Amino acid sequence: MIQLIRGFKDILPGEVELWQYIESTARSLFEDFGFREIRIPIMERTELFARSIGEDTDIVEKEMYTFADRKNELITLRPEATASVVRSYIQHKLYADDPVQKFYTIGPMFRRERPQKGRYRQFYQINAEVFGIDSPFIDAQLIFMLVKLFSRLSVTDVEAHINSLGCPECRPRFKEALAEVLSAATEKLCSDCVRRSLRNPLRVMDCKVPSCREAMTNAPAIIDFLCSECRLHFETVKQALEKLKIPFVIDKRLVRGLDYYTRTTFEIQTSYLGAQNAVVGGGRYNGLVKALGGPDQPAVGFAIGFDRLVEITGLKNADFKQNPDIFIAAMGENGKARAFEWACAFADSGIKTEMDFSDRSLKSLMKRADKLSAAYVLMVGEKELEEGAVVLRDMTTKEQVSIPLENLVEDIKAKILLTTNA
């Protein structure tokens, strides 16, 4: 047997309905906030991700699905969506019509990591990105929108964490201070952190190794080094969240791995997912549009881990089960032939219809109707055809009525659409 690729998965009927519901809930909410859908390709030139995410990140260094195509161009299955959305914003000069653009996009991402709970090699994200707005209010609004989405999806026990990473103006001073602490504490750090302290010192801050945590207890906090503009920005985000009654915690160790973040950074965390506690990650990336060759426009966005969201929602697959409105139990060749015509006509009229094409006893057919949880069973055999009327059984009340063959489709339609709409 050929199995699917490690870390990939099928989303089967029965669970897909829940995915669809989450997706449509997100779409309608986001659209109310002025976001429009953008669809971007799942492959890009490798260079796009290398430049936007950062050469020194784990994603680029070891997690991307990168291939040489037939003309030896390096292409990569996207590990995240932001880079492509930014590319599209720039390539189509969408800023020319209006620098302010709000997009959302939903789709699969690919990272070649070791799979575990809440982490797959093909996973799905719901992304939202805002371009051209520098105001801290929009940062707060994104978090507000996420909290509302989660409450609509019956997600409980989530917590918003926020932090500020400063800007190219103030971050260097912080990095200097951090470097001092790190070089003094080198002996306490784990081997990963020794490497990090040179290449990406911010990352040492969220290391989970106890000795590193201990070494970091008196490390400087970025928010103490913010320049006056960044400080004001962060204060405004916090005040806006308070006004909106969105609870949050300030998380000084919340340092995002991707190079392009500036100022606000946030995560929504849950306790249900083991080590993968982030359901949403996001933040501001004011420098990225320019860095990728576009105008100097600010931007902010987030990515929701769709698979993770599915796992923590209070909604169950059973909530979305679709049962047939009617099951046609047909006996004999003539019965099946007529039933087939009716089945097509019913389905065409918006009635969920099932029938069985095998030659089985009425008892078997009834069992099948019961298994499918059909609301009604329409019985037709030689006897009914001779008598000119079929039997319609209400499976809940067990009431049976005789329905003449003339005008049958219209009569059934009227009866079923009446009860299902009631």
Partner RNA sequence: GUGGGUGUAGCUCAGUUGGCAGAGCACCGGGUUGUGGCCCCGGUUGUCGUGGGUUCAAGCCCCAUCACUCACCCCA
Answer yes or no whether residue 48 interacts with RNA by CB under 7 A.
Answer: no
Residues 105-124 that bind RNA (CB under 7 A): 111, 113-120, 123
Q: How far is CA 220 from CA 215, 238, 250, 281, in A?
A: 11, 21, 15, 23
Write the single-letter amino acid at 164. S
Of the pair 257, 295, the CB lying nearest RNA is at: 257
Among 366, 408, 412, 416, binds RNA (CB under 7 A): 366
Answer yes or no whether residue 145 interacts with RNA by CB under 7 A.
Answer: no
Of the pair 170, 374, the CB lying nearest RNA is at: 374
Residues 229-268 that bind RNA (CB under 7 A): 256-258, 267
Q: List 105's β-bridge partners, or say none.
A: 127
Write the single-letter amino acid at 42. I
Smallest distance, RNA to C-beta of residue 44, A: 16
Smallest distance, RNA to C-beta of residue 97, A: 29
Residue 351: is it exposed, middle or buried by C-beta count within 10 angstroms (0-12/13-18/19+)?
A: buried
Letter string b/e over residues 15-38, b meaning 16 or more CB atoms within 10 A of that residue's CB: eebbbeebeeebeebbeebebeeb
Among 51, 78, 161, 196, binds RNA (CB under 7 A): 196
Q: Which residue has the tokens 């679709």?
A: 322
Answer yes or no whether residue 339 interacts with RNA by CB under 7 A.
Answer: no
Smallest distance, RNA to C-beta of residue 165, A: 13
Answer yes or no whether residue 383 interacts with RNA by CB under 7 A.
Answer: yes
Per-residue binding letters, 304-323, with RNA (x by CB under 7 A): xx-xx---------------
Of the pair 181, 391, the CB lying nearest RNA is at: 391
Contact 392, 401 (CB under 8 A): yes
Q: Report residue 378: phi and psi, to 5°.
A: -105, 120
Answer yes or no whether residue 128 interacts with RNA by CB under 7 A.
Answer: no
Compute the distance between CA of residue 267 and CA of residue 142 in angstroms, rounded to an integer: 11
Answer yes or no whether residue 275 interacts with RNA by CB under 7 A.
Answer: yes
Among 25, 88, 236, 276, binds RNA (CB under 7 A): 276
What are the start-end ranges of the E strands in 41-100? 43-45, 65-68, 74-77
Cα Rg of the chain (Å, integer) = 29
Q: How far is CA 201 from CA 141, 172, 230, 282, in A?
A: 30, 11, 20, 20
Answer yes or no whether residue 384 interacts with RNA by CB under 7 A.
Answer: yes
Q: Which residue has the tokens 């933040």?
A: 283
Contact 141, 229 (CB under 8 A): no
Question: For RNA, how many residues bind (rule: CB under 7 A)?
Answer: 70
Per-residue binding letters, 385-404, with RNA (x by CB under 7 A): ------x-x-xx-x-x----
Among 96, 208, 217, 318, binds RNA (CB under 7 A): 208
Answer yes or no whether residue 361 interacts with RNA by CB under 7 A.
Answer: yes
Output the CA torsion sign for 78, 79, 80, 86: negative
Answer yes or no whether residue 367 interacts with RNA by CB under 7 A.
Answer: yes
Q: Rule CB under 7 A: which residues touch RNA?
A: 1, 3-4, 6-8, 57-59, 63, 80, 111, 113-120, 123, 125, 192, 196, 203, 206-209, 256-258, 267, 274-281, 303-305, 307-308, 331, 360-364, 366-371, 377, 379, 381-384, 391, 393, 395-396, 398, 400
